[in-house]
């Protein structure tokens, strides 16, 4: 199979990074469990929301994300069996292109630059499966889809869900 894998909130913990930065900035201690649904900014007082919206434009934001649990090990195995491409909407934030590339070099060196698609729209991709946390991307993909759980997609429907990389591994290995 040709498989496309998103980065933010699929292999890179962007949501967690927003929480971490918010906690530091406003001297809070909100755990992930506090965020039942919606974007991080939608779960904080209105006067703080603008600051969260600026995170992704901060230098180093994408370079310092933590890999999602088990994503490295499981994806490495999946790569032995399938043709895997990273497909990440990187053109939205100009600083992210270099940072995402360096981040992949560090955590996913087994996925070379030939297999990294830094893109805008994903509906242009043609393949068998897209793993993404945004229904916006999955809805328009002309193939099978897996919706990777995130608080922000808690109320979304229409796609098979996965909540961990072990679950993805069970389906694809």
**Mind telling me the catalytic residues?**
6, 8
Which pair of tokens denotes residue 147? 């919706």
Least distance in angstroms from the C-beta of 33 to Mg ion: 21
Question: How far, in Å, CA of 48 to CA of 21, rounded?
Answer: 12
Comparison of 26 and 70: residue with beta carbon closer to Mg ion? 70
> Counting contacts by CB under 5 A, is residue 6 touching Mg ion?
yes
Which pair of tokens denotes residue 64? 């310092």
In contact, 95 and 57? CB cutoff 8 Å: yes
Comparison of 26 and 97: residue with beta carbon closer to Mg ion? 97
> Counting contacts by CB under 5 A, is residue 13 touching Mg ion?
no
In contact, 68 and 12? CB cutoff 8 Å: yes
Question: How far, in Å, CA of 57 to CA of 149, rounded?
Answer: 24
User: Binding pattern to Mg ion, positions 80-119, x when CB under 5 A?
Assistant: ----------------------------------------
Question: How far, in Å, CA of 79 to CA of 152, rounded?
Answer: 28
Comparison of 78 and 147: residue with beta carbon closer to Mg ion? 147
Stretch that binds Mg ion, among 9-17, 37-45, 92-100, 162-170 (CB under 5 A): 9-17
> Counting contacts by CB under 5 A, is residue 133 touching Mg ion?
yes
Comparison of 81 and 133: residue with beta carbon closer to Mg ion? 133
User: Residue 22 in 3-state DSSP?
Assistant: helix
How far is CA 18 from each of CA 10, 49, 54, rounded to the nearest angstrom? Answer: 15, 11, 10
Least distance in angstroms from the C-beta of 14 to Mg ion: 7
> Counting contacts by CB under 5 A, is residue 156 touching Mg ion?
no
Stretch that binds Mg ion, among 24-32, 62-70, 107-115, 131-139 (CB under 5 A): 131-139
- Of 109, 77, 106, 100, give the one whose Cα is nearest residue 3: 77
- Contacting residues toward Mg ion, per CB under 5 A: 6, 8-9, 133
């Amino acid at each position: 199979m040709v498989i496309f894998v998103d980065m933010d909130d699929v292999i890179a913990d962007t949501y967690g990074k927003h929480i971490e930065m918010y906690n530091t900035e406003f001297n809070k201690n909100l755990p992930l469990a506090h965020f039942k649904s919606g974007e991080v900014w939608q779960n904080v007082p209105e006067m703080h929301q603008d600051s969260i919206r600026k995170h992704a434009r901060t230098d180093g934001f994408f370079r310092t994300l933590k890999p999602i649990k088990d994503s490295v090990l499981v994806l490495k195995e999946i790569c032995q069996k399938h043709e895997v491409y990273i497909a990440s909407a990187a053109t939205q934030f100009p600083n992210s292109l270099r940072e995402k590339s360096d981040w992949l070099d560090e955590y996913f060196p087994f996925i070379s630059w030939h297999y990294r698609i830094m893109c805008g729209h994903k509906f242009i991709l043609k393949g068998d499966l897209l793993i993404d946390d945004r229904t916006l991307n999955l809805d328009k993909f002309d193939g099978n889809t897996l919706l990777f759980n995130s608080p922000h997609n808690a109320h979304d429907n229409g796609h098979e869900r996965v909540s961990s990389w072990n679950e993805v591994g069970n389906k694809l290995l």
